[in-house]
Amino acid sequence: MDLIQPTETIELIHENGNWQLGRGKGFSPVQLVAASAAACSAYVFEELLDQRQISYRLVQVSVDYTENPYPPNPIAQIDVRLLLEAARPVQEAVKQIFLEIPGHCPVIQSLNPNIRINESVYFTS
Protein backbone atom coordinates (compact mmCIF):
# COMPACT_ATOMS: atom_id res chain seq x y z
CA MET A 1 0.00 0.00 0.00
CA ASP A 2 1.12 3.50 -0.71
CA LEU A 3 0.13 6.86 0.66
CA ILE A 4 0.44 10.09 -1.33
CA GLN A 5 -0.25 13.73 -0.52
CA PRO A 6 -1.39 15.46 -3.74
CA THR A 7 -3.16 18.18 -1.69
CA GLU A 8 -3.42 18.92 2.04
CA THR A 9 -5.12 15.52 2.48
CA ILE A 10 -3.21 12.25 2.47
CA GLU A 11 -4.61 9.58 0.15
CA LEU A 12 -4.37 5.81 0.34
CA ILE A 13 -3.90 4.59 -3.21
CA HIS A 14 -6.37 1.96 -4.31
CA GLU A 15 -7.20 0.62 -7.78
CA ASN A 16 -10.93 1.27 -7.22
CA GLY A 17 -10.37 4.85 -6.11
CA ASN A 18 -8.14 6.48 -3.56
CA TRP A 19 -9.32 6.97 0.02
CA GLN A 20 -8.86 10.43 1.46
CA LEU A 21 -7.40 10.35 4.96
CA GLY A 22 -7.46 13.30 7.31
CA ARG A 23 -9.45 15.10 9.95
CA GLY A 24 -12.46 16.79 8.51
CA LYS A 25 -11.73 15.47 5.02
CA GLY A 26 -12.19 11.83 4.24
CA PHE A 27 -11.59 9.14 6.84
CA SER A 28 -9.49 9.77 9.91
CA PRO A 29 -6.99 7.06 10.82
CA VAL A 30 -9.01 6.41 13.99
CA GLN A 31 -12.14 5.84 11.91
CA LEU A 32 -10.19 3.38 9.77
CA VAL A 33 -9.14 1.41 12.86
CA ALA A 34 -12.75 1.15 14.05
CA ALA A 35 -14.00 0.29 10.55
CA SER A 36 -11.28 -2.34 10.18
CA ALA A 37 -12.36 -4.03 13.40
CA ALA A 38 -15.99 -4.05 12.24
CA ALA A 39 -15.16 -5.33 8.75
CA CYS A 40 -12.94 -8.07 10.14
CA SER A 41 -15.68 -9.11 12.57
CA ALA A 42 -18.17 -9.34 9.71
CA TYR A 43 -15.80 -11.31 7.45
CA VAL A 44 -14.92 -13.75 10.24
CA PHE A 45 -18.57 -14.19 11.25
CA GLU A 46 -19.59 -14.94 7.67
CA GLU A 47 -16.74 -17.40 7.28
CA LEU A 48 -17.69 -19.23 10.49
CA LEU A 49 -21.36 -19.39 9.46
CA ASP A 50 -20.44 -20.61 5.97
CA GLN A 51 -18.17 -23.33 7.41
CA ARG A 52 -21.13 -24.64 9.41
CA GLN A 53 -23.42 -24.33 6.40
CA ILE A 54 -25.86 -22.03 8.18
CA SER A 55 -28.17 -20.10 5.89
CA TYR A 56 -28.17 -16.34 6.60
CA ARG A 57 -27.97 -12.93 4.98
CA LEU A 58 -25.84 -10.16 6.45
CA VAL A 59 -28.10 -7.11 6.27
CA GLN A 60 -25.98 -4.42 7.92
CA VAL A 61 -22.84 -3.79 9.93
CA SER A 62 -22.77 -0.65 12.09
CA VAL A 63 -19.77 0.65 14.00
CA ASP A 64 -19.23 3.43 16.52
CA TYR A 65 -16.20 4.22 18.60
CA THR A 66 -15.37 6.26 21.67
CA GLU A 67 -12.10 8.01 22.24
CA ASN A 68 -10.60 8.30 25.69
CA PRO A 69 -11.12 11.92 26.81
CA TYR A 70 -7.59 12.12 28.21
CA PRO A 71 -4.54 12.68 26.00
CA PRO A 72 -3.30 11.16 23.83
CA ASN A 73 -6.92 10.14 23.05
CA PRO A 74 -6.52 6.51 22.04
CA ILE A 75 -9.65 4.60 21.17
CA ALA A 76 -11.37 3.52 24.38
CA GLN A 77 -14.18 1.43 22.88
CA ILE A 78 -15.44 0.07 19.57
CA ASP A 79 -19.07 -0.99 19.22
CA VAL A 80 -19.91 -3.34 16.34
CA ARG A 81 -23.51 -4.29 15.59
CA LEU A 82 -24.31 -6.99 13.04
CA LEU A 83 -27.85 -7.33 11.67
CA LEU A 84 -28.62 -10.73 10.15
CA GLU A 85 -31.52 -12.38 8.48
CA ALA A 86 -31.66 -16.00 9.65
CA ALA A 87 -34.45 -18.51 10.25
CA ARG A 88 -35.58 -18.78 13.88
CA PRO A 89 -34.46 -22.42 14.26
CA VAL A 90 -30.79 -21.48 13.58
CA GLN A 91 -30.65 -18.22 15.55
CA GLU A 92 -29.35 -19.87 18.73
CA ALA A 93 -26.57 -21.58 16.76
CA VAL A 94 -25.76 -18.23 15.12
CA LYS A 95 -25.47 -16.60 18.57
CA GLN A 96 -23.04 -19.31 19.71
CA ILE A 97 -20.90 -18.94 16.58
CA PHE A 98 -20.96 -15.16 17.05
CA LEU A 99 -19.04 -15.62 20.32
CA GLU A 100 -16.12 -17.10 18.35
CA ILE A 101 -15.40 -13.89 16.40
CA PRO A 102 -12.71 -12.37 18.68
CA GLY A 103 -10.67 -15.59 18.63
CA HIS A 104 -10.52 -15.55 14.84
CA CYS A 105 -10.31 -11.84 13.95
CA PRO A 106 -6.69 -10.72 13.43
CA VAL A 107 -7.62 -7.03 13.60
CA ILE A 108 -9.25 -7.35 17.01
CA GLN A 109 -6.35 -9.51 18.19
CA SER A 110 -3.92 -6.77 17.07
CA LEU A 111 -5.58 -3.98 19.04
CA ASN A 112 -4.39 -2.84 22.43
CA PRO A 113 -6.18 -4.94 25.08
CA ASN A 114 -7.27 -1.70 26.79
CA ILE A 115 -9.64 -1.06 23.88
CA ARG A 116 -13.03 -2.51 24.77
CA ILE A 117 -14.71 -4.28 21.86
CA ASN A 118 -18.49 -4.61 22.16
CA GLU A 119 -19.98 -6.81 19.49
CA SER A 120 -23.66 -7.62 19.20
CA VAL A 121 -25.82 -9.56 16.78
CA TYR A 122 -29.45 -8.80 15.95
CA PHE A 123 -31.98 -10.54 13.74
CA THR A 124 -34.51 -9.03 11.34
CA SER A 125 -37.21 -11.45 12.45
| Residue at 101 is within a domain | yes
Q: What are 11-29's pLDDT values in tens digits?
A: 889 899 888 888 778 888 8
Residue scoring higher pLDDT (79 or 9): 79
Which pLDDT score, from 0 to 100, does residue 71 have?
A: 80
Q: Where are the alpha helices (DSSP H) in 1-125?
A: 29-51, 88-98, 101-104, 106-110
The confidence band for 108, taking pLDDT boundaries of 50, 70 and 90, is very high
Angle at 78 (CA atoms; ends 75, 82), nearest 5 degrees:
160
Q: What is the mean pLDDT of the chain?
A: 93
Task: Tell me which residue range forms the domain holding 40.
Answer: 28-123
Packed helices 88-98 and 29-51: angle between N→C axes, nearest 10 degrees? 130
| Residue at 32 is within a domain | yes
CATH at 77? 3.30.300.20
End-to-end alpha carbon distance in the chain: 41
Q: Is residue 79 pLDDT above 80, yes or no?
A: yes
| Residue at 15 is within a domain | no
Domain count within the chain: 1
